Amino acid sequence: MSEGNGHSDGRSGGGAGVGSNGWNPAPAVRSDPAPANPLLSQPIEFVGSFPDPNVRVEPPLPEIAFIGRSNVGKSSLLNALVGRPGLARVSSSPGKTTLLNFYRLPGFYLVDLPGYGFARASKAERAGYRELVTGYLRTRHTLRGIVWLLDIRHDPSKEDRDMQQLLIESGRAVLAVFTKADKLTRSAVHPRTQHLAHALQLEPEQIEVTSSRSGAGIAELATSVLAATTQGSSS
């Protein structure tokens, strides 16, 4: 992830579509042989859940944050990404998580941000969520990039649009990841990807398509995440 404006805290210049901030994803999905997932062999531990966007975790390491709607399949994707079923708990009550969950791997952290757009959340809960996520995105010096998850089956919602604007305003590098590709036929994946890319003003290199169930795109995403942890750490 290159830095568009030379900041040393992981930020870079914004644009119309998130992802224009310099995240360099892995190459598009390849056919044969299947790429290896570089995160599968790495140890991982749950550090803790925190309500403070400025919480100090030791040692300070680069962070890659994951964010998406409350039913986008974030926990399942995180589990598939590191090959640890059950590491990130898949809740039967979407929107229940309201904390920052930190997972440590050698040299960096994965940070699971609370899901947004939960219909039953109160006005106070929505305001608290906004404060937590906004504070994290805008002030976290160790944040190297954000993986923004969107369900490939659905057009962007108002909440998705609001999140897109927040991500743009944060100036962070963002990689848009379309989830649940297994829910579509193979022939429908490409046109659907193009449709969402147009709707969100994203270039093809700013997108990855995944399925936690089939494993499609997971190794490529893991490669992108690992590469991003070493980018943007210096001016």
For residue 11, pLDDT over 70 is answered with no
Q: Which of 35, 14, 15 is nearest to 25 (CA)?
A: 35
**Considering the domain boundaries, does residue 113 fall inside one?**
yes
For residue 13, pLDDT over 60 is answered with no
Dist CA 88 CA 101 (whole Å):
9
Q: How far is CA 122 from CA 49, 115, 166, 235, in A?
A: 22, 14, 20, 41
Over residues 74-98, the pLDDT tens digits come to: 999 999 999 998 887 655 445 456 7
Dist CA 12 CA 6 (whole Å):
7
Quote the pLDDT of residue 232.
56
Torsion (CA) 39, 146, 107, 43 in degrees, nearest 10: -30
- Let me know: does 146 contact 174? Beta carbons within 8 Å: yes
Q: How many percent of the chain have pLDDT more than 90? A: 66
Q: How many CB atoms lie within 10 A of CB 45?
A: 9
Tokens of 16: 């119309």
As for how many domains the chain has, the answer is 1
Is the torsion defined by CA of 190, 174, 161, 76 positive or negative?
Answer: positive
| Backbone phi, psi, residue 78, to 5° | -60, -40
Quote the pLDDT of residue 10.
42
**Considering the domain boundaries, does residue 235 fall inside one?**
no
**Considering the domain boundaries, does residue 32 fall inside one?**
no
Dist CA 220 CA 218 (whole Å):
5
Dist CA 77 CA 115 (whole Å):
13
Q: Residue 121: which pLDDT band, with cuts at 50, 70 and 90?
A: confident
Q: Residue 12: which pLDDT band, with cuts at 50, 70 and 90?
A: very low
| Backbone phi, psi, residue 153, to 5° | -80, -20
**Considering the domain boundaries, does residue 33 fall inside one?**
no
Q: Tell me the mean pLDDT in the region 109-123.
A: 85
Dist CA 49 CA 29 (whole Å):
33
Q: Tell me the mean pLDDT in the region 47-51.
A: 94
Quote the pLDDT of residue 124.
82
Torsion (CA) 45, 47, 51, 57 in degrees, nearest 10: -130
| CATH assignment of the domain containing 210 | 3.40.50.300
Range of the domain at 152: 45-228
- Let me know: does 114 contact 71? Beta carbons within 8 Å: no
Q: How many CB atoms lie within 10 A of CB 55?
A: 15
**Considering the domain boundaries, does residue 55 fall inside one?**
yes
Q: Which residues contact 135 (CB under 8 A, 6 or more apart)?
A: 53, 54
Quote the pLDDT of residue 25.
56
**Considering the domain boundaries, does residue 186 fall inside one?**
yes
The pTM for the full model equals: 0.85
Q: Tell me the mean pLDDT in the region 10-24.
A: 49
**Considering the domain boundaries, does residue 132 fall inside one?**
yes
Q: Tell me the mean pLDDT in the region 154-171.
A: 94
For residue 172, pLDDT over 70 is answered with yes
**Considering the domain boundaries, does residue 34 fall inside one?**
no
